Amino acid sequence: MSTPALPQSADQILAALDPEQREVAANPSGPMCVLAGAGTGKTRAITHRIAYGVHSGAYVPPRVLAVTFTARAAGEMRTRLRDLGVAGVQARTFHSAALRQLHYFWPQAIGGAAPEILGHKAPAVGEAAARVGMRLDRSELRDVAAEIEWSKVSLLTPETYPEAARAARREPPGMDPTAMARLISTYEDVKGERGVIDFEDVLLLTVGILEEREDIAATVRSQYRHFVVDEYQDVNALQQRLLDLWLGGRGDICVVGDPAQTIYSFTGATPEHLLRFGRTHPGAETVRLVRNYRSTPAVLGLANRLLTDPSGGRRHGSVELVAQREGDSSASRPRLTALDDDPAEAAWVAERIGELVEQGRPLREIAVLFRTNGQSEGFESALTDAGIPYLVRGGERFFSRKEVREAVLLLRGAARTDDGSKPLPALVEDVLGGMGWQPEAPAGSGAVRARWESLKALVDLAGRLAANHPQARLPELVGELDERAAAQHAPDVEGVTLASLHAAKGLEWDVVFLAGCSDGLLPIVMAEGAEEIEEERRLMYVGVTRARDVLHLSWSRARTPGARASRRVSRFLDQTSGILGEGARSQPKGSRSRSRGRLKGARPRSCKGCGSELVTAAERASGRCANCPPGYDEATFERLRAWRLAVSRAASVPAFVVFTDATLEAIAEAEPGGQRELSAISGVGPRKLSLYADQVLAVVAGADPDEVVRSASGDPEA
């Protein structure tokens, strides 16, 4: 529960800022681009810019729209503005602002009430897939939904999708771009029949109304005269179109971003809008925030080194961070540790965390970060074995959890009868006791432990509220929870944070363990080409810059105990050996493992026949351009096609759902003799390996395709 801020003068607002932040705040009119490095106080700079504009008379609060990318960031901005004595400024996400306008103008532009928004795409995607003869599992449904989102934010239609997808080297799950376009079209039909729209449609429809109705666009532009856009490096084509329509050619806009933290390009985000801002807004002022107040000089030394190119310049248009904290002790120097295997790495991390806890470090100030969500399980197991509480970030939102919704409902009911006879924390414990909650943590892990931690966070919040506001009772606690839910500002949970690097962006901790620093994870094995590899480098940079005081980097030589130590340390650390030691130098792999890695992860970019560049996914899968003759045995390829046709008919699915032509060509050329060789071929993922490996290997060895299918199905005629 916050207290109202005292009014401040314009001069007082500027007095609390460093020189670069002050330059941002003191010039509230006209276009401005702020290149803000990690930990440099960008939110402070832009909220003070708005506050200075209001207190100096340059801004009228209701005519200012501050756009963020998360509800939590919008809530934090509103809180900071309130503390600066500013009320009435609209701080919203792109979708929140667009949805508000869509509901308001729909009756005028279209008539009637705006359509209901589809809560989850999966059911509609599943129905669309069934209509075109596809069967998709849960992970494939998720991947298809993500591809639909990319097509929409890229302003593509089903007709324009295939060409754009090939140019962008997109690879739809289990199908070619033409099939994906048909699925997109059918998905739109399903939505239309249901009378619903999805999340991206909110922006698309708002754009359509503003483009077609100049009177409505004029109304919006008269409402909002000044704009601030945070995290501008993450803007996609659709959001930029909407922003341009809001502006209507005017120049009162301040954008803030860091090209070095562009890590969402797979969703359509691009830093080009940020980097070209000076050209699209002539006369725009550019301010660089470089003073880092978050991390120790040693941590920043490593971060800066990661983004220094071989010539000594800066990668990605990034700024070089300048430490503002005191000098380092030997204990704060970043360290790199190599372990034998993944379980050993997880156990080592848990052991180090246990030592930190014994030294008095709060659990909530410790994080374990990794590249993929699949890495979380090993650390969850190791922390559970060590008796260390944890929470996994990036899953279901706190206020959306079933137990939290039930608890808030019970607290809301109990607030009506709170007579003040019992201390607030004890009363909350009693109410939650009705749900089975106990002060002692359960011995188990997983869902049971997560449920307990969620309820404990509510108890702890009640304790902090009572300490700060002794007169507060249940009605005030419920009001605090409602305010936090609106801003998606979850209460702190006492536990180590486990998070992917994507989920960690925008957060910070005293101690960070950056795990899995090996090639194949950082960069991820699927990354292809210079652009994707550089995005992986930026991901590591984001992870490093989350640490305030202590940074541990670790990697394992093998995945499982006893396996061959085939991994090497991440190539991104090659140039950091002066900081992390000689162990940071990656060693070249043997030629055999290198070629296997190219088959699966970094597919060839040039034709093995003529050397020309391979453009499409199909060409890269086969390793040959369309003009070169195939390098496989024609008879083997035809047997594989016959087998695929038989499988597709038996399963009542299109043939390409089994395997695409490009994958069959790659199989025919490689002629794999076992599952290991087959799994190295692009397009043969774990699911298809489990379904078809034995059949494919038999066909490659010369077996009759129809007999193979009958045998696999258990047909007695086989």
* Residue 242: CATH number of its domain: 3.40.50.300
pLDDT at 594: 38
Based on the domain organization, do 187 and 242 belong to the same domain? no
- Residue among 41, 42, 49 at smallest CA distance from 25: 49
Residue 283 lies in a domain: yes
Q: Please give the residue that has the higher pLDDT: either 268 or 555.
A: 555
At 518 the three-state DSSP class reads: strand
Cα distances (Å, whole numbers) of residue 215 to 97, 238, 246, 434:
18, 21, 13, 56
Backbone angles phi, psi at 199, to 5 degrees: -60, -45
Based on the domain organization, do 89 and 211 belong to the same domain? yes
Based on the domain organization, do 417 and 543 belong to the same domain? no
Run of H or E including 542: helix 529-544
pLDDT 10s digits, 36-73: 999 999 999 999 999 999 999 999 999 999 999 888 78
Q: Please give the residue that has the higher pLDDT: either 608 or 315.
A: 315
**What is the distance between the alpha carbons of residues 553 and 308, in angstroms, rounded to a whole number?**
19
Based on the domain organization, do 691 and 667 belong to the same domain? yes
In the predicted structure, residue 288 carries a pLDDT above the cut 90 = yes
Residue 4 lies in a domain: no
pLDDT at 681: 83
Residue where a domain stops, chosen among 247, 272, 289: 289
Domain extent, residue 133, equals 119-196
Residue 128 lies in a domain: yes
In the predicted structure, residue 453 carries a pLDDT above the cut 90 = no
For residue 664, give the amino acid letter. L
Helix axes 94-109, 214-223, angle to 10 degrees: 140
DSSP notation for 298-359: HHHHHHHHHTB-TTS-BGGGPPPPEE-SPPPPGGGS-EEEEEEEHHHHHHHHHHHHHHHHHT
pLDDT at 596: 36
- Please tell me the number of Cα atoms within 13 Å of 263 on its side-chain side: 19
Task: Say if residue 354 is exposed, middle or buried (CB neighbours under 10 Å; 0-12, 13-18, 19+).
Answer: middle
Residue 612 lies in a domain: no
**Identity of the highest mean pLDDT range in 208-217, 302-311, 404-413, 613-622:** 208-217
Residue 616 lies in a domain: no
Decide: 459 and 493 in contact? Cβ < 8 Å: no
CATH of the domain at 685: 1.10.150.80
Decide: 102 and 213 in contact? Cβ < 8 Å: no
Residue 77 lies in a domain: yes
Cα distances (Å, whole numbers) of residue 580 to 480, 543, 584:
45, 16, 6
pLDDT at 597: 37
**What is the distance between the alpha carbons of residues 169 and 685, in angstroms, rounded to a whole number?**
18
Based on the domain organization, do 378 and 403 belong to the same domain? no
pLDDT at 587: 58
- Residue among 532, 522, 535, 527 at smallest CA distance from 571: 522
- Whether the pTM exceeds 0.85: the reply is no
pLDDT band at 593 (very low <50, low <70, confident <90, very high): very low
pLDDT band at 450 (very low <50, low <70, confident <90, very high): confident
pLDDT at 621: 56
Average pLDDT over residues 630-645: 84
pLDDT band at 581 (very low <50, low <70, confident <90, very high): confident
Flag the least confident range among 318-327, 510-519, 558-567, 615-624.
615-624
In the predicted structure, residue 713 carries a pLDDT above the cut 60 = yes
Flag the least confident range among 23-37, 293-307, 353-367, 577-591.
577-591
- Could you tell me the two tokens for 59? 């801004």
pLDDT band at 149 (very low <50, low <70, confident <90, very high): very high
In the predicted structure, residue 598 carries a pLDDT above the cut 60 = no
Give Cβ neighbours of residue 131 (< 8 Å, ≥ 6 apart): 186, 189, 190
Residue 5 lies in a domain: no
**Identity of the highest mean pLDDT range in 336-345, 399-408, 429-438:** 336-345
Based on the domain organization, do 269 and 334 belong to the same domain? no
Decide: 319 and 35 in contact? Cβ < 8 Å: yes
Residue where a domain stops, chosen among 487, 505, 524: 487
Average pLDDT over residues 469-487: 83
Based on the domain organization, do 367 and 508 belong to the same domain? yes
pLDDT band at 481 (very low <50, low <70, confident <90, very high): confident
Based on the domain organization, do 156 and 223 belong to the same domain? no
**Tally of domains in the chain:** 5
pLDDT 10s digits, 501-532: 998 998 899 999 999 999 889 988 878 778 88
At 539 the three-state DSSP class reads: helix
**What is the distance between the alpha carbons of residues 137 and 465, in angstroms, rounded to a whole number?**
45
Based on the domain organization, do 370 and 419 belong to the same domain? no
DSSP notation for 581-624: -GGGSPPPPPHHHHHHHHHHTS--SB-TTT-PBP-SHHHHHHTS
Backbone angles phi, psi at 555, to 5 degrees: -155, 160
- Residue among 449, 440, 443, 442 at smallest CA distance from 403: 449
Average pLDDT over residues 533-556: 94
Residue where a domain stops, chosen among 584, 599, 623: 584
**What is the distance between the alpha carbons of residues 175 and 698, in angstroms, rounded to a whole number?**
24
pLDDT 10s digits, 672-711: 888 878 887 877 877 788 788 889 999 998 888 888 888 8
**What is the distance between the alpha carbons of residues 225 and 208, in angstroms, rounded to a whole number?**
21
> What's the chain's average pLDDT?
85
pLDDT at 4: 44
Based on the domain organization, do 465 and 405 belong to the same domain? yes
Average pLDDT over residues 362-372: 93
pLDDT at 624: 64
Flag the least confident range among 295-299, 300-304, 573-577.
573-577
Residue 254 lies in a domain: yes
At 368 the three-state DSSP class reads: strand
Based on the domain organization, do 384 and 526 belong to the same domain? yes
Decide: 399 and 490 in contact? Cβ < 8 Å: yes
Based on the domain organization, do 215 and 334 belong to the same domain? no
